[in-house]
Amino acid sequence: MRALKITTALTALLLLGSTETCRAQDSTAQVVTLGAAVVCSPSLDHVDSTSRRYTRLERKVLKVWPYAALAGELMEELAVELEHVDNRQQRKTMIEEREERLMARFEDDLKRLRVSEGVILIRLIDRQAGQTSYGVVRELKGRFSAFMWQGLARIFGHNLKSEYDPKGEDAIIEHIIERHRLELQRGLTVENRRPK
C-alpha cells in the first residue's frame, strides 16, 4: 500500500512539474522542477474546512483581517514617530490626535462588529503587534487605562493579557491566514474591500 502511495505521488510530481534528465558519469537521474507551494501546519489535518464552524470562523477572520493589518501598520508608524519625540506631553498629544482620527474613520465599522468578530480582531491585532492588547494599551494609554479595559474585557469573559498562540489555541486562525495568503496580499485595505 505504501509503495502505491509513493508511486502515485511521484506520478503526480512528474505531471505537475517540468522534468529534465541529468546524466553524471554512469548514472541517470530525473529532475523535477515544481512551482511554489504553501505548507500548512500538519497538525491541522483533522480540521474539516467544509464544516460550518470552520466556515464561520474563516468568514470572521476574512472580515476583520484588513482592520488588524492596518492596525499593525499604523502601530509601526506610530512607534517610529514616537522615537523622535522626547517630551512626554508631545507624545500624549500625538497619541490622542492619532486616536481621534482613527475613531472618526473606523468607529462606525467597529461598532457594527459582533462580539465574536471583535475577539478575533483583538487576537489578530495581538499577532500583528507582537504583543498582547493589554501591553499595547498600557504602552500607549497608560497603566490605569489598560487596567480599566482589562476589567471590562474580563466582565465579558475575555482576557487582554492572553497572547496569540499560532501553534496552540489560535492555530486554526493561523491556518486560515496561511490558506488565504493574507500576509502576502497588498492593496487589501479596509477602504477597498467589499462589505458583507
pLDDT tens figures, 101-118 = 999 999 999 999 999 999
DSSP single-letter state for residue 42: G
- Mean per-residue pLDDT, 11-39: 60
Beta-strand relationship, 18-24 and 27-33: antiparallel
Q: Which of 188, 192, 191, 159 is nearest to 61 (CA)?
A: 188
**Hey, what long-range contacts does 172-176 have (CB within 8 A, 24 or more apart)?**
172/44, 172/47, 172/54, 172/57, 173/57, 173/61, 173/120, 173/123, 173/124, 174/41, 175/40, 175/41, 175/44, 175/47, 176/57, 176/58, 176/61, 176/62
How many structural domains is the chain composed of?
2
Within 8 A by CB and 6+ apart from 101, the residues are none
| 187 belongs to a structural domain | no
| 90 belongs to a structural domain | yes
Domain hosting residue 81, numbered range = 42-179
Residue 185 has pLDDT above 90, yes or no: no
50 shares a domain with 21: no
pLDDT number for residue 7: 45
C-alpha cell at 23: 546524466
Helix pair angle (115-129, 133-141), 10° resolution: 70
73 shares a domain with 12: no
11 shares a domain with 61: no
| 137 belongs to a structural domain | yes
57 shares a domain with 10: no
Task: Say which range, 68-77, 90-99, 136-145, 183-192, has the weakest mean pLDDT.
Answer: 183-192
Q: Is the pTM of this model over 0.85?
A: no
48 shares a domain with 12: no
| 111 belongs to a structural domain | yes
**CB 94 within 8 Å of CB 81:** yes
| 139 belongs to a structural domain | yes
| 192 belongs to a structural domain | no
Residue 189 has pLDDT above 90, yes or no: no
- Mean per-residue pLDDT, 117-134: 93
**CB 74 within 8 Å of CB 95:** no
Confidence label for 50 from pLDDT (cuts 50, 70 and 90): confident
**CB 142 within 8 Å of CB 27:** no
